[in-house]
Structure 1
Amino acid sequence: MSRRIVCLRHGQTVWNVERRFQGHTDIALDETGVAQAARAASLLAALQPTMIVSSDLRRAYDTASALGRVSGLEVVVDKDLRERGGGEWEGLTREEIKAGWPAEFEAWDAPGGEHVTDVAERVSEAILRWSARTGDDGLLVVASHGAALRLGIVRLMGLPQELWPALGGLGNCAWSVLEQGRKGWRLLEHNAGTLPEPVISDDSPAATADA
C-alpha cells in the first residue's frame, strides 16, 4: 500500500442551510451535521486511519472528533486547514454578496478576503506536512472545509490554475481520497460518501450549486 489522504469536509451548519459565507467565522454543526459526522465516522473508521488532523474551527473539529471517538485516535489541530477567509462577505448570503459586489461575485474575490492561490498553498502545505508523519503506508484523514480542501487538492495534484474549476466542490461530510504515486499525488475518489446532490459551501459559484 502507498500513502493515502482522506480529505473530509465538515458536516452541515445553519449557515450552510442559509447559504451564508462562513469563512473563518466559528459556526457549530447543526443537528443534521452532527448526524452526518457520525455516519461518515462509521464508514471512514473501516479504513483504519493512522492520523486525524483538523482545522481549528469547531465545525471541522467536531466532525473529526466523531471519527476520533470511533477509531480511538486523538484529533490534532492545525489552523492552516481553516476555510478561505471571506473578509467583508462573512455572514452574508449569496444574494447579499451578489447584490453588493456584482463584479467581485463573478470573480468570487471577497474584499478583505484570501486569494485562492494563498489558500491553495497554505492548505496543501499543511496536508503534506502531516502526511509526512503518517509513514509510507499511513492513512491521514484531514477534516477541513469545502473551498479549502478543493483548493488544497488541486494544488497537491499540480494542476495549472486555469484548470482548478474543473474539480467540483465537496458536499457536507463528503470526502476525497488522494494516493501518492511515483509521479505525485493522484485523485482516487472525489465528493464520495453520498449520492450526488447540490453542493452548498463557501466555494466559488462555479464549484457549487450556484453554477
Structure 2
Amino acid sequence: MSRRVVCLRHGQTQWNVEKRFQGHSDIALDETGVAQATRAASLLAALRPTLIVSSDLRRAYDTAAALGRVAGLDVSVDKDLRERGGGEWEGLTQAEIKAGWPVQYDAWEAPGGEDVTDVADRVRDAVVRWAGRLGDGGLLVVVSHGAALRLGICRLLGLPQEHWSALGGLGNCSWSVLEDGRRGWRLLEHNAGTLPEPVSSDDSPMVTAGV
C-alpha cells in the first residue's frame, strides 16, 4: 500500500476577507474560519490520519488542532510549512500593492519577500521529511497555507516552474491529496472539500489503480 498526504489549507481569517497579504504575519482564524476547520476535521478524521503536522502560524495550527481533537492525534509543528514571506507587502491589500508597486504586482514579487523557488523547496522538503515517517498505507495531513502548499505541491510533482501557474489555488479549508506510488508522487485530488472517491475509468491501468 502506498503512502498518502493530505495538504489542507487553513480556515478563513479577517485578512483573507480584506484581501490582505498575510505572509508570515500571525493572524488568527475568524468565526467563519473556526467553523470551516471544524467541518474539515469531521470529514478528514474519517480517513484515519496517521500523523498531523502544521505550520507554526496560528491560523494553520488552530485548523490542525481541530482535526487533532477529532482524530485523537497530537499536532507536530514545522516552521518550514509557513506561508511565503511577503516582505514590504505584508498587511497590505491587493489594491494597495497594485497602486504602490505596479511592476512587482504583475510579477507578484514582493520587495523583501521570499522567492517562489525557495518556498517550493522548503515546503517540498518538509512534506517529504514527514511522509518518511509513515508506514505503508499511512496518511499524513499537512496543514499550511495557500501559496506555500501550491508551490510545494508543484515541486513535489516535479513540474517545471513555467507550468506552476497551471495548478490552481486552494480555498480556505480545502485540501489536495497526494500519493507516493512506485513512480513517484502524483496528485489525486486538488482543492477538494469532500472526501475523495475511488476512481474507475477507461484511463490506463497504472493511472486507475494508482501504481
TM-score by length of 2: 0.91
Aligned to 2:49: 49
Alignment of 1:55-134 (within 5 A): 55-134=55-134
Q: How many residues align?
A: 194
Aligned counterparts of 2:119 and 2:183: Cα–Cα separation in 1: 24
Q: CA deviation at 1:164?
A: 0.3
Question: Which whole-Å deviations, capped at 9, do the CAs of 1:20-67 have from their partners, x for residues lacking one?
Answer: 000000000000000000000000000000000000000000000000
Output the CA distance in 1 between the equivalents of 2:46 and 2:181: 23
Cα deviation digits, residues 94-141 of structure 1 (max 9, x gap): 000000000000000000000000000000000000000011211000
Match of 2:177 in 1: 177
Aligned to 1:136: 136
Give unmatched runs, 5+ long, in structure 1. Answer: 195-211
Residue 14 of structure 2 corresponds to residue 19 of structure 1: no
Gaps of 5+ in 2: 195-211
- Measured in 1, the distance between the counterparts of 2:47 and 2:71 equals 10
Q: Which residue of 1 aligns with 2:205?
A: none
Shift >4 Å, 4+ stretches: none
Report percent identity of matched pairs.
81
- CA distance in 1: counterparts of 2:148 and 2:105, whole angstroms: 18
The one-letter code of the counterpart of 1:156 is L
Paired position in structure 2 for 1:145: 145
Bigger radius of gyration = 2
Alignment TM-score, normalising by the size of structure 1: 0.91
Paired residue secondary structure (1:176)? strand
1:31 aligns with 2:22: no
